[in-house]
């Protein structure tokens, strides 16, 4: 399998608890597409680095990595 970066986003929340809940919800879900495509693939959100607190807001960068196989 070859990992491919598909997209990224910055999650911004008012508290560390809210940030942790949303990040955990994203990384625990696996996305699969296997019907009607040449490639079979599955992907997950992963954190890039650790959370940051900036001006009272908590930020976390996440990237969606997908693994494809023929």
So what's the pLDDT on residue 38? 58
pTM for the full predicted model: 0.73
- Residue 32's pLDDT is 72
DSSP-based three-state secondary structure for 19: helix
Distance CA 60, CA 52 (A): 6
Q: Give the pLDDT score at 66.
A: 80
Q: Within the chain, which residues score under 50 in pLDDT? A: none
CA–CA gap between residue 67 and residue 65 (Å, rounded): 7
Q: Which pLDDT value is given to residue 53?
A: 96
pLDDT of residue 60: 97
Range of the domain at 59: 2-31+39-69
Looking at residue 24, the DSSP 8-state letter turns out to be H
Torsion of CA 4, 1, 24, 35, to 10 degrees: 90
Q: What confidence score (pLDDT) does residue 29 get?
A: 84
pLDDT at 43: 82
Q: How many domains does the chain have?
A: 1
């Amino acid at each position: 399998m070859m990992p491919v970066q598909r997209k990224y986003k910055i999650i911004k929340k008012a508290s560390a608890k809210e940030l942790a809940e949303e990040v955990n919800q994203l990384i625990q879900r696996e996305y699969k597409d296997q019907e009607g495509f040449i490639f079979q693939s599955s992907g997950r959100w992963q954190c890039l680095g650790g959370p940051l607190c900036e001006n009272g807001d908590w930020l976390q960068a996440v990237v969606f990595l997908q693994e494809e196989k023929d």
